[in-house]
Structure 1
Amino acid sequence: MQSDNTSNQPSQSQLRYVTRSSMICDLKLEQISQDRWQEVTLTYKPLLLAWMKNKNVPASAKDEILQNCWVAVYESIGKFERDPEKGTFRGWLRTICRNKIADYFRSLPKDMGVPQEVLNAVANPEQKDADEIEREEQALREAEVRALEIIRSKTNEQTWEMFWMTTVENVPTEEVAQKFSVTKAGVRMAKQRVLKRLRELGFEI
């Protein structure tokens, strides 16, 4: 695995989803930067689309529901509290998506004849078959890749390579320091700088 190959990403076992308070705090800002908001929406879009697919939302309605989801997040994030007993950010986001999907189906004319199995799927979100579980896992992997791509695009190339070599390729810090003619402390700082950005987007290695 080479650090200059943009297609190489940490494995699923290396990169896992978390919800960091820094991301929640940023979203709660009255004037969150457009750049920060875009990072979050781009990262979590695959999950929202996967949940819609699991509930048989037609392609023609996905953009509208997606927009409604983000409007709801923006308007209600101030009420979200990061508490394991009350649920995670991802669970909260899933609930918003489910509600917007339900709103969409309720808005359809009765003569369109929405299949009962579709209505049952929306009403029973915890009932998932193997395909639904796989789609959600795939969407989470795509979200992970997006997070890495966003961070790399805004990170100095040397900083990224030092992070990649020490964290993904497990190259000893001393060896990386010699390669880039920096101190071991400099390598550790570069690594932590990228890890901090990953945590801000809800992931960690």
Structure 2
Amino acid sequence: MPPPPATRESLLLRLADPADRAAWVEFVDVYGPLVLATVRRRGFGHADAEDVTQRVFARVFRGLRTFEYAPRRGRFRDWLGTIVYREVLREYRARGRDRASTMPPEELDALADAGQDPEWADAFQSHLYQVAMGRCRARFEPRTWAAFEQVWVAGRPPAEVAAELGVSVDSVYVAKSRVLGALAGTIRELSKDLPSFSDGR
């Protein structure tokens, strides 16, 4: 079984080292799809959304160079969300037209502090859940994962799943317990709250 993914603290500390390319590959792999999807929901086409996403990661890179672990200062999720929405706002204003010209001033201002937006928080947690599911799936045999998925995700009766897979009912319960334990641990590692140390401006 491969080792679990790096915790949020250790990954962010590694990102402070510009020479650690593997850390950046992992970071972009985890958060790139989330940032891109969030930008696209704000009305940008794919190419424009990719440009905004690249600027988001450029700002993240600059902020992480001065990273210090101080849990009381804020949450990583909120910090990242604020950077995303400020880059969206900058793009709206740079265009000086389209949605930026029709949005009420209060909505434009709200974008600047959108790191704590419930929509962003939900998207962040949902995305990390999907990432955790993908990572955990690779750590189990197909039949073990199938037992978990059919019982816990699809909600099918354990006895029915056991008969279909040709295993005992106890084996199905054990599979479910093992996968749930691994999933919970991976989600904790991926979603551990860490400090914000820059306002993203």
Going from structure 1 to structure 2, the CA distance change for 1:23 and 1:194 (only over 3 Å counts) comes to farther
8 A Cα contact 2:56 2:87, kept in partner: yes
8 A Cα contact 2:136 2:182, kept in partner: no
The offset of 1:65, in angstroms, is: 0.7
Counterpart for residue 66 of structure 1: 53
Counterpart for residue 147 of structure 1: 132
Structure 1 distance, partners of 2:131, 2:104, is 30
Say which of 64, 68, 84 aligns to 1:97. Answer: 84
Structure 1 distance, partners of 2:76, 2:192, is 12
Structure 2 distance, partners of 1:147, 1:118, is 38
The offset of 1:147, in angstroms, is: 2.8
TM-score by length of 1: 0.56
8 A Cα contact 2:8 2:189, kept in partner: yes
1:32 aligns with 2:26: no
1:201 aligns with 2:190: yes
The offset of 1:69, in angstroms, is: 0.8
The offset of 1:99, in angstroms, is: 2.3
Structure 2 residue matching 1:31: 3-state secondary structure:
coil
Going from structure 1 to structure 2, the CA distance change for 1:21 and 1:148 (only over 3 Å counts) comes to same
Counterpart for residue 121 of structure 1: 107
Amino acid at match of 1:37: W
1:76 aligns with 2:63: yes
Going from structure 1 to structure 2, the CA distance change for 1:32 and 1:97 (only over 3 Å counts) comes to same
8 A Cα contact 1:52 1:101, kept in partner: yes
8 A Cα contact 1:49 1:62, kept in partner: yes
8 A Cα contact 1:43 1:147, kept in partner: no
8 A Cα contact 1:47 1:136, kept in partner: no
Structure 1 distance, partners of 2:45, 2:52, is 10
Structure 1 unaligned spans of 5+? 1-18, 170-174, 181-187
Structure 2 residue matching 1:66: 3-state secondary structure:
helix
Structure 1 distance, partners of 2:39, 2:99, is 19
TM-score by length of 2: 0.56
8 A Cα contact 2:128 2:191, kept in partner: no
Structure 2 residue matching 1:201: 3-state secondary structure:
helix
The offset of 1:25, in angstroms, is: 1.6
Structure 2 residue matching 1:73: 3-state secondary structure:
helix
Structure 2 unaligned spans of 5+? 1-6, 154-169, 194-201
Alignment RMSD: 4.4
8 A Cα contact 1:22 1:200, kept in partner: no
Structure 2 distance, partners of 1:144, 1:134, is 15
The offset of 1:149, in angstroms, is: 0.6
Identity over the aligned pairs, expressed in percent?
A: 20
Structure 1 distance, partners of 2:40, 2:107, is 11
Structure 1 distance, partners of 2:97, 2:8, is 45
Within a 5 Å distance, the mapping from 1:50-65 to structure 2 comes to 51-52=38-39, 56-60=42-46, 61-65=48-52
Report how many residues are paired. Answer: 165
Instruction: Give the helix-richer structure, 1 or 2.
Output: 2
Structure 2 distance, partners of 1:37, 1:157, is 29
Structure 2 distance, partners of 1:86, 1:141, is 24
